[in-house]
Copies of this chain bind each other. A is one copy, B any other.
Amino acid sequence: MITKQQVVQAHLPATLTPRDEAEAFAPSNIALCKYWGKRDAELNLPINASLSVSLAHLGTRTRLVHATDGRDRVWLNGAEQAADSAFSQKLLAFVDLFRAGHALPVHVHTQNNIPTAAGLASSASGFAALTLALNEWLNLELAPAVLSAFARMGSGSACRSLFEGFVQWEDGIRDDGMDSHGVRLEASWPELRIGLVKVATGEKAVDSRAGMKRTIETAHLYQSWPLQAAADLTRLHQAIGEKDFALLGQTAEQNALSMHATMIASWPPLLYWTPDSVAAMQQVWQLREQGLALYFTMDAGPNLKLLFEAGDQAQVEQAFAGLEVVAPFSA
């Protein structure tokens, strides 16, 4: 088995020349065709290719400072995190891949501007921003595709957050995963809007990593998931190429529901939906029956992310109070 350490090592210079500090930003991303299932749990290599849209200004800004006090320290949204917290440990383990045994103490300042309760994972933008900041801090001058593959090893979907706009995460075939990274699509869609519905806060009972594992091991239906994902990717490319919003929305919604279906078919059953999630879905379907071009996607959580176009924004905002709206392709 190839380890993360081996993969990163192969791309590092003989000597590291760290700057005093470095800073980077990476956006969150919403998958229109989901990443669900790993073919390699160490490197986060996916069973299927996926496709997302990045959320412009919503994401994570991370600053790395070469520590003069000789200690690794981590701040999240201004609050210092305990050294033994899961957050600090996971983050510093990733930094260690790049320090490769050298004594390079660092202070990590991480700032998320993702609205609380919107159910957006911050690990994607977090590991993407951290990877970009490490590239700056250590003067690595690595290509975006390489950095994307590195970010993937922190959190799978982080490899898509290296880029703006529509991004495809190639599944790849290499054992070291270096061909499994994000690729930005040329297309733009200025009218596209994403609405974040606030359904629930609180920690997830089962995280995505454990959820994927359970699904693959116990749900017979998962066997057909790669077929669904492959068909949906083709349809999404067609929808984006022709700017066919109904096709984009339908494909994204069916893809998300199919992913949830594989979880629901697992044992023990994995249902991220709350009664409020179901009520929100039914509201979307009712509005659509009334003629509104409104669709949703959901990740491994109870929240809906609405998909619509700029012309319908007023109507959508009226139906969903407190909606946070993102325009992924606006300047």
Q: Given contacts A220-B224, A274-B278, is CB(A261)–CB(B254) below 8 Å? A: no
Asked if A320 is at the interface of the complex by the 8 Å CB criterion, the answer is no
Most buried by B among A219, A221, A260, A282: A221
Q: Given contacts A224-B224, A227-B223, is CB(A265)–CB(B271) below 8 Å? A: no
Asked if A279 is at the interface of the complex by the 8 Å CB criterion, the answer is yes
A271 interface neighbour in B225, B268, B278, Cβ under 8 Å = B278
Asked if A276 is at the interface of the complex by the 8 Å CB criterion, the answer is yes
A219 to B278: give the CA distance in the assembly, Å: 20
Interface string of A230-274 (1 = CB under 8 A from B): 010000000000000000001001100110111011111101011
Count residues of chain A with CB under 8 A from any CB of chain B.
Answer: 36
Q: How far is the CB of A271 from chain B (nearest CB, A)?
A: 7
Which B residues are in CB contact (< 8 Å) with A285?
Answer: 268-269
A266 to B253: give the CA distance in the assembly, Å: 10
Asked if A202 is at the interface of the complex by the 8 Å CB criterion, the answer is no
Cβ-defined contact, B281 with A267, below 8 A: no
CB<8 Å pairs between A and B, sample of 29: A218-B254, A220-B225, A220-B228, A221-B221, A221-B224, A221-B225, A221-B228, A221-B261, A221-B265, A222-B224, A223-B224, A224-B224, A250-B267, A253-B269, A254-B265, A254-B269, A257-B264, A257-B269, A258-B264, A260-B264, A261-B262, A264-B264, A271-B282, A273-B278, A274-B278, A275-B276, A275-B278, A277-B278, A278-B278
